């Protein structure tokens, strides 16, 4: 990667805060707020929040609930709400390589060695029953000598002034990188950037192929290269406009430290897990930093939905099925369920299901014809009622990849570091082959188009 200045500016979290305010979606709090009251205050506010003053943390501000609705996510993406998945997919098709710069706002303040102190950050307790304060709005960078740079999002539970737990139980590229280091009894260097634009968060959440640099995806979403800066103590790069960066390494101890409970994006207070430990060697941040308090579960769920939907669109097209619309319902946390309507040819209902069920942790897939409004629960129920025969139109897959925070898979029985499996269900709610479409002709009032109600009022 050539070291040069970026010619075009991409958007930062601060730019996004301005966009929210212009759209009437940001609430500023001028009065000082006790760190113990942050979660309750942000949880009650119907808008995104910007707390201007935090008691005991001079110079710090805090932002939260930035993408806790599809409307705010659409503001971040600069599109209509119904086009969020399509806009994300368009960004995937036009990756832009990041560029390196020499000086960055995220390194205006640098703390190393004995000066490293996580308690200097406004590290809030998020939920009742949590095992400790958590950092959740993270973009974590790691590298592997064979596969290259990876960026993912992982939560960090406070343990000591220079150590956190890290949730690394689920399959991911960074877990794979860590396992390769663990096999050699070596630590894995990582860098944790917080307070970045939602595009970087979305890119970190997207399950890209292992050799894909997620910063190229973020560049495609921005339409401009992401500016990166070299870390001070590890051989990694982070977004230059981040608010805070933690540098350090995952200790080669495996899945041996207790981590949790935590209020998961599944809307459930999760169980204690066994995870590695992150030892922090350096903290850098802006001179006037904004701590991003990512509100669980809704922000995580809305960040998950477009990445799940875009992945669904891609696998359908790869399977030569033409998608019309797709939805990852918020009731499934934007993650476990996908509902798609397609322009169907014979057999493609089942092909579409097989494609959708191949995605990561998607557990339930429903496919309909393009005459069904998949955003209307009554329309979807109608298709499920009259186009589905249970002995012909259900697809069940056993032994597929699961995720720990789904209680139904009994992950606690696996032991430390175990990976769960799950069963998946597909429902083909398209018109069955051999049934004429005229049997699904909707009723319509006689001469409905020849009369107008307002003419008689």
pLDDT in tens, the chain (457 residues): 434 334 457 899 999 999 999 999 999 999 999 999 999 999 899 999 999 999 999 999 999 999 988 899 999 999 998 888 889 999 999 999 999 999 999 999 999 999 999 999 998 888 888 888 999 899 999 999 999 999 999 999 999 999 999 999 888 999 999 999 999 999 999 999 999 999 999 999 888 899 999 999 999 999 999 999 999 999 999 999 999 999 999 999 999 999 987 777 667 777 888 999 999 999 999 999 999 998 776 676 777 888 899 899 999 999 999 999 999 988 887 788 999 999 999 999 999 999 999 998 899 999 999 999 999 999 999 999 999 999 999 999 999 888 877 788 887 777 777 788 899 999 999 999 999 999 998 888 888 889 898 999 8
**210/348 same-domain check:** no
Domain count, the chain: 2
pLDDT score at 415: 75
Q: What is this structure's pTM?
A: 0.83
**270/323 same-domain check:** no
**325/270 same-domain check:** no
pLDDT tens for each residue of 270-282? 788 899 999 999 9
pLDDT tens for each residue of 125-164? 888 888 889 998 999 999 999 999 999 999 999 999 999 9
Cβ atoms of 142 and 132 within 8 Å: the answer is no
**268/384 same-domain check:** no
Judge whether 14 lies within some domain: no
Judge whether 307 lies within some domain: no
Cβ atoms of 139 and 193 within 8 Å: the answer is yes
- Select from 267, 286, 305 the last residue of a domain: 286
**152/217 same-domain check:** yes
Q: Residue 351: which domain range?
A: 319-440
Judge whether 77 lies within some domain: no
Judge whether 120 lies within some domain: yes
- Select from 270, 286, 302 the last residue of a domain: 286
| Spatial distance between the Cα atoms of 81 and 23, rounded to a whole number of angstroms | 14
**339/199 same-domain check:** no
**394/264 same-domain check:** no
| Spatial distance between the Cα atoms of 17 and 157, rounded to a whole number of angstroms | 26
Judge whether 448 lies within some domain: no
SS3 of 265, please?
coil
**179/95 same-domain check:** yes
pLDDT score at 305: 83
pLDDT score at 297: 65
Judge whether 29 lies within some domain: no
Judge whether 194 lies within some domain: yes
Residue 365 token pair: 């897939």
**223/107 same-domain check:** yes
pLDDT score at 3: 41
Judge whether 327 lies within some domain: yes
């Amino acid at each position: 990667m050539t070291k040069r200045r970026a010619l075009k500016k991409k958007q930062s979290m601060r730019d996004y805060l301005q966009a929210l305010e212009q759209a009437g979606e940001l609430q500023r709090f001028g009065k000082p707020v006790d760190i113990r009251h942050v979660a309750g205050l942000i949880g009650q506010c119907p808008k995104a929040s910007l707390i201007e003053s935090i008691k005991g943390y001079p110079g710090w501000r805090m932002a939260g609930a930035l993408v806790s609705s599809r409307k705010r996510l659409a503001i971040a993406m600069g599109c209509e709400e119904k086009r969020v998945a399509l806009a994300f997919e368009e960004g995937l098709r036009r990756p832009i390589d990041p560029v390196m710069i020499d000086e960055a706002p995220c390194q205006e303040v640098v703390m190393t060695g004995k000066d490293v102190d996580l308690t200097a950050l406004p590290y809030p307790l998020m939920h009742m029953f949590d095992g400790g304060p958590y950092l959740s709005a993270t973009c974590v960078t790691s590298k592997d000598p064979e596969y290259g740079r990876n960026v993912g999002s992982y939560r960090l539970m406070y343990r000591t002034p220079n150590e956190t737990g890290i949730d690394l139980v689920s399959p991911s590229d960074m877990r794979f990188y860590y396992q390769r280091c663990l096999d050699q009894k070596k630590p894995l260097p990582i860098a944790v950037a917080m307070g970045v634009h939602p595009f970087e968060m979305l890119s970190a959440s997207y399950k890209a192929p292992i050799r894909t640099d997620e910063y190229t995806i973020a560049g495609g979403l921005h339409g401009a290269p992401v500016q990166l800066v070299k870390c001070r103590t590890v051989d990694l790069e982070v977004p230059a406009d981040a608010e805070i960066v933690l540098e350090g390494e995952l200790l080669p101890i495996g899945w041996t430290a207790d981590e949790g409970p935590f209020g998961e994006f599944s809307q459930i207070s999760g169980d204690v897990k066994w995870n590695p430990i992150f030892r922090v060697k350096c903290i850098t941040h802006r001179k006037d930093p904004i701590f991003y308090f990512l509100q669980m579960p809704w922000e995580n769920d809305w960040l998950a939905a477009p990445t799940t939907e875009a992945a669904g669109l891609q696998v359908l097209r790869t399977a030569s099925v033409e998608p019309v619309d797709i939805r990852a319902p918020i009731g499934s946390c934007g993650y476990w369920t996908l509902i798609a309507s397609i322009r169907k040819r014979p057999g493609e209902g089942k092909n579409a299901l097989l494609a959708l069920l191949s995605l990561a942790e998607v557990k339930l897939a429903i496919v309909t014809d393009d005459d069904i409004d998949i955003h209307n629960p009554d329309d979807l129920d109608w298709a499920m009622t009259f186009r589905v025969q249970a002995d012909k139109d259900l697809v069940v897959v056993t032994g597929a990849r699961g995720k720990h925070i789904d209680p139904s898979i009994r992950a606690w029985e696996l032991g430390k570091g175990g990976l769960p499996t799950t069963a998946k269900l597909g429902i083909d709610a398209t018109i069955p082959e051999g049934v004429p479409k005229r049997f699904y002709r909707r009723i319509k009032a006689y001469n409905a188009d020849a009369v107008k109600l307002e003419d008689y009022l």
